[in-house]
Chains A and B, each alone.
Chain A
């Protein structure tokens, strides 16, 4: 029984070793793009009443409905595109993480009230 388990694990390890790192990096980069998109939409909604109204796809939730739907849609589309591009390539996940962390940091900045409220039209 133990021998079978060892064989299964080694077999799976061998198979995993053949998997390229590209899809991992694609997922990481897409996550960064999703976070950035949320930050950009949040700041744009504050800066422009037209964009705010456009993002108000469900009135009880307000513009947050469009911001979150938009960010999720962009994230998934970018993920699919990057996955297709990198699926057979060796793209280091550490590099992808570095890029994604920058994108996430910008996304956090865009959702930070003290920052995005700077763009609010003067009352």
Chain B
């Protein structure tokens, strides 16, 4: 049941921050979707906005935490020039090479679009406040960016899980 330092960091990168990311997305999306004055009382608008702020900020923080730990802590172990590193294991097997050439190459880049867009959404929600309830166009635009930020992270997370299955970091 002991975890190595590398396994612990991988856990923080993928599971701990990933769970926070998912919670932030689910809470933020629900709050943004229902932030409509025709469905809510003024107190309800205030409550939804509060939840939206918590959700979008949590997702942005989790997204930054995920890419920073992934790029600067876990990735150097992945690409070590040693025979036992995941990169070396994948490249040594013709049947697994594409997990690096396509999967990892895309994941390591596209993941960074998520925190950028999540931060944009957090700014809009904090700056515009209850204006989001008054201006449906801005609210829908914010939701679109929020879902896009989630989609990029989901692509990266999916490849991360599959690559870890093919060549675990130990």
- Residue ranges of A at the interface with B (Cβ–Cβ < 8 Å): 2, 5-6, 8-10, 12-13, 15-17, 19, 21, 23-24, 27-28, 30-31, 34-35, 38-39, 42, 58, 60-62, 64-65, 67-68, 71-72, 75, 92-94, 96-97, 100, 104, 107-108, 111-114, 117
In the assembled complex, which residues on chain A have CB atoms less than 8 Å from the CB atom of B72? Answer: 58, 61, 65
- In Å, the complex CA distance between A119 and B111 comes to 22
A-B contact pairs, 20 of them (CB 8 A): A12-B46, A13-B134, A16-B130, A23-B127, A24-B124, A24-B128, A24-B138, A24-B141, A30-B120, A34-B116, A61-B71, A62-B79, A64-B75, A64-B108, A68-B112, A75-B116, A92-B137, A112-B106, A114-B102, A117-B105
Main SS of chain A's interface residues?
A: helix
- Contact A111 B42, beta carbon cutoff 8 Å: no
- Residue ranges of B at the interface with A (Cβ–Cβ < 8 Å): 42-43, 45-46, 67, 71-72, 75-76, 79, 101-102, 105-106, 108-110, 112-113, 116-117, 119-120, 123-124, 127-131, 133-135, 137-138, 141, 144-145, 148
- In Å, the complex CA distance between A18 and B71 comes to 41
Partner of A19, one of B105, B110, B117, B131: B131
The count of A-to-B residue pairs whose CB atoms sit within 8 angstroms is: 118
- Contact A111 B106, beta carbon cutoff 8 Å: yes
Q: Distance in Å from the Cβ of A100 to the closest Cβ of chain B?
A: 8
In the assembled complex, which residues on chain B have CB atoms less than 8 Å from the CB atom of A64? Answer: 71, 75, 108-109
